[in-house]
Structure 1
Amino acid sequence: MARSRNFQLTTEEARADPDVVKESFVVNEISSMVLFDSGASLSFASLALSKRFSGTPGELDFPLDVEIADDRTVRVARFYRGCTLRMFDEQFSVDLVPIPLRGNKAIVGKDWLSSNGKVIDYELQLVRVRTPSGGEIVIPGERPQRGLILCSAARARHYFEQGCAR
């Protein structure tokens, strides 16, 4: 029996957690909160999100025990292969295992991150990903608001060129 660990955070907890990089993207044409977590062995989707997927889930090679909130463990045996994760103008394929999470959420884990040349900078709340077309996108995660944030015109132009416009 394989084990995986996942933590269920509220939106407020995720915003305050320096080890969580999250951003809104589209999963299978559904607006979703996507959390990038290099500590998760697989990638997951909330039950609410996965219920909206078309198609039938496949079977995992073996059941997986996933630790979620309150030290509870759920056993999962199904997954959705080849879901579409759209970030900016790029589309990526990701396999998602449905688990109990609040809202329309996806957790992108090591399985996807390692195959897409990721670099996660938790301090700066950034994820760098190699695109299918050979380029790179920089995903700025949500950061806790700490008052007024100023940005120079040169830095703003750099962010726009990197595809980080909000």
Structure 2
Amino acid sequence: MILFDSGASHFFISYACAAVLGVHVCDLGLRLLVSMPASASVIASELCVGCPVVVNEKKYKVNLICLPLVDIDIILGMDWLSVNRILIDCANRRLIFP
């Protein structure tokens, strides 16, 4: 389950999803205080570098910060969509790729 979050300043992955994908988790090199809307803030200190994310049969490599997310595997912000020239068509509930 991927959440496209227009307010997200970074990109995130749940620890559970990272484990299922078998991606390497490394030290972020700093401690990042992340505000979570459904709970208190959490401190993130781990990162998955070049994590493969497949959206609409296209594969992307994304650096994702690890968080203890529940019911969401990955959070991608609008910056990611913009860089990859992907549009969200809310009226028709679909993503539009270049």
Unaligned 5+ runs, structure 1? 1-32, 130-135, 137-166
Are 1:60 and 2:44 matched, yes or no? no
Scaled by the length of structure 2, the TM-score of the pair is 0.77
**CA 1:71–1:93 in structure 2 vs 1: closer, same or farther (change >3 Å)?**
same
State the identity as a percent: 31
Over 3 Å off, 4+ runs: 121-124
- Count of residue correspondences: 98
Higher relative contact order at CA 8 Å, sep ≥6: structure 1 or structure 2?
A: 2
Find the structure with the greater CA-based Rg: 1
**CA 1:78–1:88 in structure 2 vs 1: closer, same or farther (change >3 Å)?**
same
In the alignment, which residue of structure 2 is the partner of 1:77? 45
- Partner-residue secondary structure (3-state), 2:10: coil
User: RMSD of the alignment, in Å?
Assistant: 2.2
In the alignment, which residue of structure 2 is the partner of 1:90? 58
CA contact 1:42–1:112 (8 Å) conserved in 2: no
Scaled by the length of structure 1, the TM-score of the pair is 0.50
Unaligned 5+ runs, structure 2? none
CA contact 1:38–1:109 (8 Å) conserved in 2: yes
